[in-house]
Structure 1
Amino acid sequence: MNSPQNIYAWEQSRAIIDIGSNTVRLVVYGGPPRAPVTLLNEKVTAKLGKHVAETGRLSEKAVGGVLAALARYKALIDLAGVPQVDVVATAAARDASNGAEFLEKVRAIGFAPRLLSGVEEAETSATGVLGAFPHAAGIVGDLGGGSLELVDVADGGTSHGVSLPLGSLRLPALRAKGDRVFVREIGRMLAKADWAAEPGTDLYLVGGSMRALARGMMVRLGWPMEDTHGFALPAAEALKLARQLARRGQALQPIDGVSSSRLASIPDAAALLAVLLQRLQPGRVIFSSWGLREGVLFGSLSDAVQKEDPLLAGVMAFVGGMAVDVALVDAAAEWMADVVPMARTPLGRAALALCLAAGRVEPNLRRGLPADWGLAKRWVGVDNAGRAMLAAALRGSVGKVQKDAVAEPWARLAPSAALAEARGLGLAARLCRRMSAGSAAVIRSTRLTVEGGHLRLTSAVPQLIGDGSSRDLKELAQHLGLAV
């Protein structure tokens, strides 16, 4: 599953079907187990749990929509030869009086659904967050259609998971009772569940409505990224934005990547978040695209695989199809590490791998790589500042670095010193790539050193160092404040 040619192989993939209260979704994953690649992500917004709070039952119309979607998913999976399928059902099937009858119909299609308890749902979502943020510590809040799950995460584990009837399908009716009742009811539910949090911790937010809310916040901030995964804000700033977006009666403008149904859910999700921020008093809010489905995947991995660096695993799988492997990255990292120490770090190695792969891309496509690979492509195990550093490194490796680095779109995402270090790595990668033609053996035949304030490139085969390499060496030296 790790070899480049198998990343998109259906016969080596794994499918997760999530029967939620709002949507029923099929996601097929391939690629490296630690950083899976999404081969297919298909959903049907059946709103299975829409009337459960009022009637206690799943409606025939919603059940019919879900079963039709599942029949299609079954046909796709069987014909494509997907070898492993996990089906999980959550709040709607759990809370409805006819939930068991519904699950029997799911079994009749040929699936073996697993009904998660509220605590299991909370812990599985939190496990997904831990897969994307290995050092996560704080609270995970997963807003689904039928419920809100809250769970503590720390030291790679979960605890105190609860499920509250505060899903996105239930919020409109609760808000219609007035803001005071809305706030009071949420507080009552938290108190009844005996759920509180230590002030100042991180709050990780999961779920489609929360991702839509994140996009709304990003648009208001003029954020230079569209991917919500890893988007983080101080709690005070998040509260201010949540209050703005929660206002009743406002017509939100369409947002790229947000469906009309998700757009409509933003005010209620924002109102819920505002109450949670006031009650739980976190120090920071972080949005995660990894949740329940990824938790099912990550929880099934061995301890050894779970401990792999997810960013490096994802990057190496991505560049493998461009003839960049571990041996080449190792050789390049060792070659430049004394000059660019960042190359010794996991983030630096990931950036270096991308910079080396950039040389395999058509020249007319390279200019967009910093934004495309650094900011737009989803990576896990890296925050927005780290993604900005990936972009800065790629800028150094594929094009001229702007004299006014503040003008780069990612300049606001990371400290200027960190971005300068990343640009240096990119410049060194460009020199390495041009000089060696992407050959580890050629890299090992040369040395890059600093001697008495001068940057030196030497080789047992001097003919390897051509005019292009000399220009790259000079530009790297200037960036580092060295002579040549």
Structure 2
Amino acid sequence: MNAERAVIDIGSNTVRLVIFGGPPRAPTILLNEKVTARLGKGVAENGRLSDKSMQAALAALARYATILRLRRVEHVDAVATAASRDAENGPEFLAAVRALGLDVRLLSGEEEAITSATGVTAAFPGACGIVADLGGGSLELVDIEGTNCTHGTSLPLGTLRLPQLRSEGSVRFTRRVHKMLEAADWTGSAGLPLYLVGGSHRALAHYAMHALDWPFDDPHGFSMSADEALNLCQVIDRGKLSTSIPMVSASRLAMLPDAAALLAALITDLQPERIVFSSWGLREGLLYRQLSPAQQALDPLLAGVTTFAEQLGCPRGFADTIAQWTSHASIPHEEGHDRLRLAATMLSLAANRMEPNLRAEESVEWALRKRWVGIDGEGRAMIAAAACTNAGHEAVFPQLERIASSRQLLAGRIWGLAIRLARRFSGGTTDALTQSALTVENGELVLSLRESVATLYTSAAEKDLKALAQVLGMKPVSRILVTESAAIT
């Protein structure tokens, strides 16, 4: 049975097929195709889908249906959103889609909003704030708190409608947005993060990252303060756009001023604390809803990193053992750092499957640039610091200092030194770690070993222990337990 899962998203601007593989809780994209059919353009102009847009969409959908048949993908979720929902001839168009053998569902505005927000909560476990998903035909807004998605609404503020709305002038446009929000009871939510979803929002993130020369190129998880976002919107609204932005198409670039004007109006009304960009939205929300409660409860970061590391021959069990063995070798840390330390352990072990001259650079690239979810920029930087320290670099890469605090990077370096000690001392064996222990006792970093593994403690292991103790500000001590029954703690 083919484990691949597919989503067909018939949107107002694009018609897209995405085929997913990988772990269910952290799916990876195997195929991503889109056609810019602009179904919503005619709807915005005269309330109907144009013949040209329907022909483009149906041609794309016929191709998608053939691809799915040839790949034998059995799990397919096809949905249509605002343009098909609002168009006078929407039912006729959807009948033509079904004639292609695609069992398409028409989502209501609330369903679209809640499903998109579900994708955000799946990517940011425990998130609390507001989701704003900007599509071609509509803007969806949803309150999120943990796994709860409420107060979903859909407003006619899609990118294909914005040019006409903005033609009345910025003051009238801002006032119109305010009235729509007020009518939908979307005011007075100050101080919460605003999570932005949709292609135009991702283009805004790419623009900001390019302007800042940011070390990442994946917009997922990129964050700005509300004031920084307002300044960005003002720059874009004044027309000071670069002619070419990596990862942003010319058509998306042309939409940026409209998207920026809408975001500025949302920030003014909703008063968020900060802006967070999410690459997960409707399509990922559809996948997440199909998971069992046990699968939904999994940590998406650890699910993704585990699968990646195991593909390189690094079993999760050994990483768990190292993470437990090194757990005392750390500075006081915040809640959630243990999962980051485990992820750093897995990636560090995976990097050791690479050629020595590639390990540091490759593992830092993995930490910073792979599309992990359930992690922010600071967490990525901490994992990168651990990975390059594990690979033998005494100093972290300079770009990390732009992302995380010195204390966070110090924590990452300590993780890396501890992983390096465990990995090299044990020779990659679990038994060596279960017959030894790394503890902190009265300001000393103590490595206790049973006699059966005492020969593993060489000058190289002594050097690694000293390096870790020095960063922790402790005295390194090694202790051989001559009695095999002595407790290893």
Q: Same fold (TM over 0.5)?
A: yes
Q: Secondary structure at the match of 2:445?
A: strand
Q: Secondary structure at the match of 2:418?
A: helix
* Per-residue deviation, 1:36: 1.0
Matched, 1:479 2:468: no
| Counterpart code for 2:456 | L
Q: Secondary structure at the match of 1:389?
A: helix
Of the structure 1 ranges 344-353 and 150-159, higher mean CA displacement relative to structure 2 is found in 344-353
* Per-residue deviation, 1:119: 0.7
Match of 1:193 in 2: 184
Counterpart CA distance in 2 for 1:246 and 1:465 is: 64
After superposition, the C-alpha distances for 1:436-468 in whole angstroms (9 at most, x for unaligned) are: 232222322332233454434343322223343
- Pick the aligned partner of 2:46 from 51, 55, 67: 55
Match of 2:33 in 1: 42
Residues 460-479 of structure 1 aligned to structure 2 (within 5 Å): 460=451, 461-479=453-471
Residues 75-154 of structure 1 aligned to structure 2 (within 5 Å): 75-154=66-145
| Counterpart code for 1:15 | A
- Pick the aligned partner of 1:334 from 299, 324, 327: 324
Q: 2:361 touches 2:388 (CA, 8 Å); kept in 1?
A: no
Residues 299-378 of structure 1 aligned to structure 2 (within 5 Å): 299-340=289-330, 345-378=338-371
After superposition, the C-alpha distances for 1:53-91 in whole angstroms (9 at most, x for unaligned) are: 112111111111111111111111111111200001001
Q: Secondary structure at the match of 1:12?
A: coil
Q: 2:200 touches 2:256 (CA, 8 Å); kept in 1?
A: yes
Match of 2:284 in 1: 294
Q: 1:93 touches 1:103 (CA, 8 Å); kept in 2?
A: yes
Q: 2:186 touches 2:270 (CA, 8 Å); kept in 1?
A: no
* Per-residue deviation, 1:247: 1.8
Match of 1:6 in 2: none
Q: Secondary structure at the match of 1:229?
A: coil
Counterpart CA distance in 2 for 1:262 and 1:272 is: 15
| Cα pair distance change 1:251/1:238, threshold 3 Å | closer
Matched, 1:262 2:255: no
* Per-residue deviation, 1:344: 7.5
Match of 1:7 in 2: none
Which ranges in structure 2 are unaligned for 5 or more consecutive residues?
477-489
Matched, 1:165 2:156: yes
| Cα pair distance change 1:347/1:443, threshold 3 Å | same
After superposition, the C-alpha distances for 1:270-312 in whole angstroms (9 at most, x for unaligned) are: 1110010001111111111110001101122222221111111
Which ranges in structure 1 are unaligned for 5 or more consecutive residues?
1-9
Q: 2:368 touches 2:384 (CA, 8 Å); kept in 1?
A: yes
Of the structure 1 ranges 469-478 and 146-155, higher mean CA displacement relative to structure 2 is found in 469-478
Q: 1:424 touches 1:479 (CA, 8 Å); kept in 2?
A: yes
Counterpart CA distance in 1 for 2:243 and 2:466 is: 49
* Per-residue deviation, 1:415: 2.0
Counterpart CA distance in 1 for 2:152 and 2:100 is: 32
* Per-residue deviation, 1:420: 0.4
Q: Secondary structure at the match of 1:50?
A: helix
Percent sequence identity is 53
Match of 1:5 in 2: none
Match of 1:390 in 2: 383
Counterpart CA distance in 1 for 2:301 and 2:352 is: 20
Q: 2:39 touches 2:54 (CA, 8 Å); kept in 1?
A: yes
Counterpart CA distance in 2 for 1:174 and 1:344 is: 46
* Per-residue deviation, 1:101: 0.6
| Cα pair distance change 1:168/1:337, threshold 3 Å | same
Counterpart CA distance in 2 for 1:391 and 1:256 is: 24
- Pick the aligned partner of 1:423 from 413, 420, 443: 413
| Cα pair distance change 1:252/1:175, threshold 3 Å | farther
| Counterpart code for 1:447 | A
Counterpart CA distance in 2 for 1:388 and 1:27 is: 29
| Counterpart code for 1:481 | G
Match of 1:182 in 2: 173
Q: 2:12 touches 2:38 (CA, 8 Å); kept in 1?
A: yes
After superposition, the C-alpha distances for 1:197-256 in whole angstroms (9 at most, x for unaligned) are: 4211111100010011011112222322111111111111211111112224x3423111
Q: TM-score, normalised by structure 1?
A: 0.93
Counterpart CA distance in 2 for 1:141 and 1:39 is: 26
Of the structure 1 ranges 205-214 and 306-315, higher mean CA displacement relative to structure 2 is found in 306-315
| Counterpart code for 1:302 | S
Q: TM-score, normalised by structure 2?
A: 0.92
Match of 2:484 in 1: none
| Counterpart code for 1:301 | L
Q: Secondary structure at the match of 1:11?
A: coil
Counterpart CA distance in 1 for 2:343 and 2:43 is: 47
After superposition, the C-alpha distances for 1:348-376 in whole angstroms (9 at most, x for unaligned) are: 11111111211112223213124311111
* Per-residue deviation, 1:473: 2.2
Counterpart CA distance in 2 for 1:314 and 1:210 is: 25
Q: 2:389 touches 2:416 (CA, 8 Å); kept in 1?
A: yes
Matched, 1:438 2:431: no
| Counterpart code for 1:425 | W
Of the structure 1 ranges 224-233 and 464-473, higher mean CA displacement relative to structure 2 is found in 464-473
After superposition, the C-alpha distances for 1:181-203 in whole angstroms (9 at most, x for unaligned) are: 21122122222323224211111
The aligned length equals: 471
Match of 2:487 in 1: none
* Per-residue deviation, 1:111: 0.4
